[in-house]
Amino acid sequence: MDTTISNSILKASIKHAGAELFSLKDNQNKEYIWEGNPDFWGKHSPVLFPIVGTLKNNTYTIDKKEYQLSRHGFARDMEFKLVEKTGNSAVFSLESNAETLKKYPFEFELQLIYTLENTSLNIEYIVINKGETKMPFSIGAHPAIALPENFENYSFKFEKQEPLKYNLLENDLISNKTETLKTTENVVPLTYKLFENDALVFKTLESNSLTILENKKPYVQVDFEDFPSLGIWTKDQAPFVCIEPWFGYSDTADNSGDLFKKEGILVLEIDQSFHSQFSIKIVS
């Protein structure tokens, strides 16, 4: 099943499976979200929960007991319930159950709220701790923006002038090796070579937004003021790029495995809720 919301400018469609955005079109029927061709990558915009990235040996511990979680967690592979819908908004919910408790021993509710406002799609995350213990978690976005022209026709413009230092991944884990993107007036030309070592992982950024330029003109802007970290990723020769606001990232090679001590982890108190949002704005 899927649900479509719209306003006078945009139309967004969301699968109930994973509450995943799979289409964002303007009123000229131009598509801005990657089609999900499995020859490159069979997803569109998965939600990353209750971890972001990869755990060391896909394993973590709580009270010295081991649990297994695959890359980016399980929420993206589960069926969400549509709990509310208006013309321009939709609210989806996933609650812990017997299946999730085997992998992640915490009672929770995860809500995704999609709202169209003018030329923007706002995507909100609400995480509620429904258990009787503190709850460690990470959450992140993974929207793939479709790039219909040649990849080299695109570039990034960061909101602020800053050293764009990112950590390299080794065997899917965060390494201590860093590199810095070269910019001219905050602009970085896009090349596939940038991603030859997988994603670019920015643990911290001063910029709260990033604009994709098409032939040097604004195309899509992603605003992520609520999020401290950012991943950028594509696959070789793929006609898309993912702009990924994150709370948390992959394990480091020397990680202890204790989820509460994981670098970048959030901890939610009993009966408390967490809220963040980002937006995808059409600026072309």
Mean pLDDT, rounded, for 226-237 = 96
Q: Taking CA 189 as the corner, what is the angle to CA 188 and CA 190, rounded to the nearest 5 degrees?
A: 115
User: What pTM does this model have?
Assistant: 0.96
| Contact of 186 with 155, CB cutoff 8 Å | no
Q: How many domains does the chain have?
A: 1
Number of C-beta neighbours around residue 176 at 10 A: 10
Mean pLDDT score of the chain? 96
Separation between Cα atoms, residue 77 and residue 15, nearest integer Å: 11
Residue 46 has pLDDT above 90, yes or no: yes
Element (H, E) at 102: helix 98-103
For residue 14, the model assigns a pLDDT of 98
Residue 189 identity (one-letter amino acid): P
Tokens of 122: 């706002």
Confidence of residue 11 (pLDDT cuts 50, 70, 90): very high
Residue 102 is predicted with a pLDDT of: 96
Terminal Cα distance for the chain, rounded: 30
Check pLDDT > 90 for residue 275: yes
Residue 245 has pLDDT above 90, yes or no: yes
CA distances from 25 to 30, 86, 113, 257, 265 (A): 5, 18, 18, 42, 34
Residue 185: burial class (beta carbons within 10 Å; 0-12, 13-18, 19+): exposed
Q: What is the percent of the chain with per-residue pLDDT over 90, rounded to a whole number?
A: 94
* Tens digit of each residue's pLDDT (9 = 90 or more) over 51-70: 999 999 999 999 999 999 99
For residues 21 and 5, is the Cβ–Cβ distance under 8 A? no
pLDDT band at 117 (very low <50, low <70, confident <90, very high): very high
253 confidence band (pLDDT: 50, 70, 90)? confident
Question: Which pLDDT value is given to residue 179?
Answer: 93
CA dist., res. 93 & res. 83, Å (int): 7
pLDDT by residue (tens digit) across 139-161?
999 999 999 999 999 999 999 99
Domain extent for 126 = 2-282
pLDDT above 90 for 255: no
* Percent of the chain scoring above 70 in pLDDT: 100
Q: How far is it, in rounded angstroms, from Cα 56 to Cα 76?
A: 20
Q: Is 73 exposed, middle or buried (0-12, 13-18, 19+ CB in 10 A)?
A: buried
- Residue 124 pLDDT > 90: yes
Residue of 256 and 79 predicted with greater confidence: 79
pLDDT of residue 254: 87
Phi-psi region of 181 (alpha: psi -120 to 50; beta: other; left: phi over 0): beta
Closest alpha carbon to 34 in 284, 254, 243, 199:
243
CATH number at residue 63: 2.70.98.10
Which pLDDT does position 284 carry in this prediction?
A: 87
